[in-house]
Amino acid sequence: MSLIDIELLELLYTLIPVRTMVLKPIGEMPLLTSSIYKGSEVMISRWLAEILEEENYVEILDNTLTSQDLAKLRFMHTQQRGRLLKLDEYFFTKARIAIEALESEAKKVSDIVLLKSVERMKEDFTEIANIRLSAILKAIQLKGVDTVEKELSIEERVLINRFRKILFCWLQKFVELR
């Protein structure tokens, strides 16, 4: 995957609307179509929600991944070795952000238990990625991408498209006889 693909995915992630609970009234803003009142639940772009959350105007309600979520997903993936499970659209981005945030918090407060939890999350995340990557590569090799594509996250779909193009060029250049 090229750097541009990764940056575009991250940009798209920030543009996705998220559910927020308004904690303080927000007056007129150029980016919002109307005033937002305390106690209301509104959908706004993630980037704006994160800024407003830092200033304590809103609380983002969309769930972040926890260590329990990753452990459960890892268990489910190991049980379903041959089949891919459906993941959230931006699973890898969400997981990376959750792990980085928790690791930063653990280092700030020097919490050994929390750091161990972060290490476990990293292990679970890596195992999930390896299982999925193995299944994706197998599907590409067997030309059965269509059967797994609906189960892939957006990050995986970008990866699979890039890999198919590279594989096609490689096969044309080195394998197909003219």
Fold topology of 67-175 = Methane Monooxygenase Hydroxylase; Chain G, domain 1 (1.20.58)
136 neighbors 1 (Cβ within 8 angstroms):
no
Q: Where are the domains of the chain?
A: 3-60, 67-175
Q: What is the pLDDT of residue 95?
A: 95
How sure is the predictor about 1, in pLDDT bands with cuts at 50, 70 and 90? low
List phi, psi (to 5°) of 135: -65, -40
Residue 175 has pLDDT above 90, yes or no: no
User: What does the pLDDT look like over 86-103, one tens digit per residue?
Assistant: 999 999 999 999 999 999
When pLDDT is cut at 50, 70 and 90, the band that residue 177 belongs to is: low
Q: Higher confidence at residue 4 or residue 125?
A: 125
CB 45 within 8 A of CB 14: yes
**In the structure, what pLDDT confidence band is assigned to residue 161 with cuts at 50, 70 and 90?**
confident
Residue 71, pLDDT above cutoff 80: yes
The CATH class given to the 3-60 domain equals alpha beta
pLDDT (0 to 100) of residue 140: 84
Question: Could you read off the pLDDT of 6-33 as tens digits, one per residue?
Answer: 888 889 999 999 999 999 887 777 766 6
Model confidence pLDDT, tens digit, residues 38-57: 888 888 899 999 999 999 99
What is the pTM for the complete model shown? 0.83
C-alpha distance from residue 60 to each of 1, 44, 132, 146 (Å):
30, 10, 29, 35
- What order do you get walking across the sheet with 17-22 strand by strand? 41-45, 17-22, 58-60
